[in-house]
Chain A
């Protein structure tokens, strides 16, 4: 057994027992990166020197008995999170040379918890995509089948965890960008409640939907990571002042007597039969744990995608106005005048998907169309949120498939934006309603591709998600497999 194959909690036990060091763990992880990264391409930037320095500091702390919750644990960061002094590209030519002058709050928190940073992971450009194929820095492959996509937009983080190129990773989720790649790569991924984790230093895509969350190898590690990153941040005005529990307390409680809602709208024609079968099996396991599964309805589900592809591009078109070739990022050098410089900078600096969404967002906010699109979408968003409020009066959590299909082939959907957008159909609702969601592995297809099941809870119900996911993970006996790389 190699150290890189273990989980955070297993390594913590070894560190506490004095049977391994942060330096040993890190060198094991980098041996793994050296062996598989050329196939997977999970990283945009590998920060080996920094990691070695941090591991040395961790070992000093361990010697003094100052062991914190992530001391010596190698963690990867999606390249959308600002890291002081470390290039942060957001997967775009626009920010290919951007070196942030400050750390995102989650990065500060992980540093304070003793974590070691292995590098910055690949992603769809500005987090706009569901396959990692819009990255300016090349595609990431799914570790389970290198001819397939890892999901997106946090595909590099999911692939890095699945391929054991780090112990855990952070991603961001605007419409499913943590949960969908977690499902497609066979790892655990959580999108917390809007406001639970500070967005300070997260490069903005759609500010009313974006949330940062962890990718981990199991549910216990997810609880450890959530305890490290969650909590109020005075530098972020939408950060919730709510108390943050120690999430590990939920892991062993079980779900005896719980009610689990199964929304009929999430089992539609078009869902892959193997995905549906695996999720149906999950329902049976959950019932075996003493929970009652009841059919529920979320009647506005069919409108989520349309609402999302109005709201998210609208917010993106405004957020991405800042890339003007003046303050930071790429500049087209030979503009005739200021306007020409703006246009040529933005046209050359952004990729096709980002431009498509800026165009869509600018259009739906433009004079004469605002009421028909943005206002209408915001009203339907209210109805979608009410659907969930009503549902959570009758059930503790909701269970759905995470993604309608397993990982699709590289290039399969790149020419058809609508087909690509449909792969987020089960994850988007949680962002629109601001509720937390977690994807946990629930089996494999006959072809050996991972399948994920999604749990959803009411606002600040992360503990419930961890509680049911931990109980499920313990009793489901999902075969322990590793991708053969």
Chain B
């Protein structure tokens, strides 16, 4: 086994997800299959190979530091599930 049920539950917590017992079992088995397939990569000698994160052509994209139009508060809040007084509303976090 590459990954056990307890690890799946821990990773779910990190990813802010939760699963029923049946779902956890199915994910554990499917993630195992996928991770076993990944073992193929161990055949490749990567000693000294620089990891490639992306194929971006330039390193930095600079622009002049001038103020430009941006979304106003009304548009920024337009899709919020709950908003009040110009703020996003979330469940109480401080008792």
Contact = CB atoms under 8 A, between A and B. Distances in A.
Interface string B51-82: 11111111011010000000100011011111
Nearest to B50: A382
A304 B87 CA distance: 45
A380 B50 CA distance: 9
Contacts of B91: 335-338, 340-341
A345 B30 CA distance: 23
Contacts of B14: 362, 366
Contacts of B75: 101
Nearest to A385: B52
B46 A379 contact: yes
B1 interface: no
Interface string A359-397: 110110010000001011111111101000000000000
Interface in A182-238: 194-195, 207-208, 234, 237-238
Contacts of A309: 34, 37-38
A241 B15 contact: no
B21 interface: no
Interface residues on A, range: 35 or more
B18 interface: yes
Contacts of A324: 16
A418 B30 CA distance: 9
A302 interface: yes
A interface, over-half SS:
helix
B29 to A, nearest CB: 11
Contacts of A359: 8, 11-12, 15, 17, 27, 31
- Looking at A306, A328, A355, which has the most chain B CB atoms within 10 Å of its CB? A306
Contact of B30 (A102, A239, A341, A417): A417
A369 B5 CA distance: 17
Nearest to A299: B44
A136 interface: no
B55 A434 contact: yes
Interface in A66-117: 97-99, 101-102
Contact of A418 (B8, B37, B41, B50): B37
A326 B88 contact: yes
Contacts of B3: 363
B94 to A, nearest CB: 10
B33 interface: yes
Contact of A195 (B19, B43, B56, B82): B56
A263 to B, nearest CB: 18
Interface in A301-327: 302-303, 305-307, 309-310, 317, 321, 324-327
29 contacts: A99-B79, A101-B71, A101-B76, A195-B57, A234-B61, A242-B57, A303-B44, A309-B34, A310-B41, A328-B79, A328-B81, A331-B82, A337-B93, A339-B16, A344-B18, A347-B19, A355-B19, A359-B15, A363-B11, A363-B31, A366-B14, A377-B41, A378-B51, A379-B51, A381-B51, A383-B46, A385-B52, A417-B30, A417-B34
Interface of B: 3, 7-8, 11-12, 14-19, 27, 30-31, 33-35, 37-38, 40-44, 46, 49-58, 60-61, 63, 71, 75-76, 78-82, 88, 90-93
